[in-house]
Chain A
Amino acid sequence: QKEVEQNSGPLSVPEGAIASLNCTYSDRVSQSFFWYRQYSGKSPELIMSIYSNGDKEDGRFTAQLNKASQYVSLLIRDSQPSDSATYLCAVRGSQGNLIFGKGTKLSVKP
């Protein structure tokens, strides 16, 4: 059974700080990893994808992947109250389906 694990939080950070979200996965052969953001009452939306070891930056977001440790993380720099949401880590399965963690709830305090 392929699993994706996340700390459920809530993670609370002050406005302007760096928020660090972490995720581990069980399937060693996984190759594609995603971070989704889900606002309360809304559907998940893709914010980052990463396929290779190392860092990938997009604006205030940086995804980090370490396949040897089976670890994915998301850093949000200069956190804003509008970043308050649940962040879902996902791993692509062999048939193209996505397997999701339960999500980490982030709260950015003004």
Chain B
Amino acid sequence: DAGVIQSPRHEVTEMGQEVTLRCKPISGHNSLFWYRQTMMRGLELLIYFNNNVPIDDSGMPEDRFSAKMPNASFSTLKIQPSEPRDSAVYFCASSLRGGYGYTFGSGTRLTVV
């Protein structure tokens, strides 16, 4: 099993640019979660999907953030336009129904300059 796969591992971009983060969940997992981790705020849940349907996006900081899950094997998190305060590590995690087997990807370290 390849685990949860995220890309890119590192992203450096200029303020105002669009950033797209990608995630491939573990095959057979039907829940997918996007988190953001900073020193100040810790690990924050941004949005999660059950069976490709967004369930709760109340953690998305503002309209500049959007997430999609077009099929069971792929999800994206987009930031447009990006700002320096978006700099963080973004993790994707997937699990079976009910949260069993919760597994994190390696994360994407985003730096907005």
Contacts and interface: CB of A to CB of B under 8 A. Distances in A.
Interface of A: 32, 34, 42-46, 88, 92, 95-103
A95 B43 contact: no
A95 B54 CA distance: 11
A43 B105 CA distance: 7
Nearest to A102: B42
User: Which 7 pairs of residues, A with B, have the shortest CB-CB distance?
Assistant: A102-B42, A96-B99, A43-B104, A100-B43, A96-B98, A92-B99, A97-B48
Given A43-B104, A45-B104, A97 B99 contact: yes
The DSSP consensus for interface residues of chain A is: loop
Contact of A44 (B43, B56, B97): B43
A90 to B, nearest CB: 8
Bin chain B's interface residue count.
Answer: 20 to 34
Contacts of B106: 42-43
Contacts of A99: 45
A98 B99 contact: yes
Contacts of B48: 95-97
Given A43-B107, A46-B102, A96 B97 contact: yes
B82 interface: no
A100 B33 CA distance: 13
B45 A44 contact: no
Nearest to A88: B43
A44 B42 contact: no
A101 B107 contact: no
20 contacts: A43-B91, A43-B106, A44-B43, A44-B91, A46-B102, A46-B103, A92-B99, A95-B48, A96-B97, A97-B31, A97-B45, A97-B48, A98-B45, A98-B93, A98-B99, A99-B45, A100-B42, A102-B41, A103-B42, A103-B43
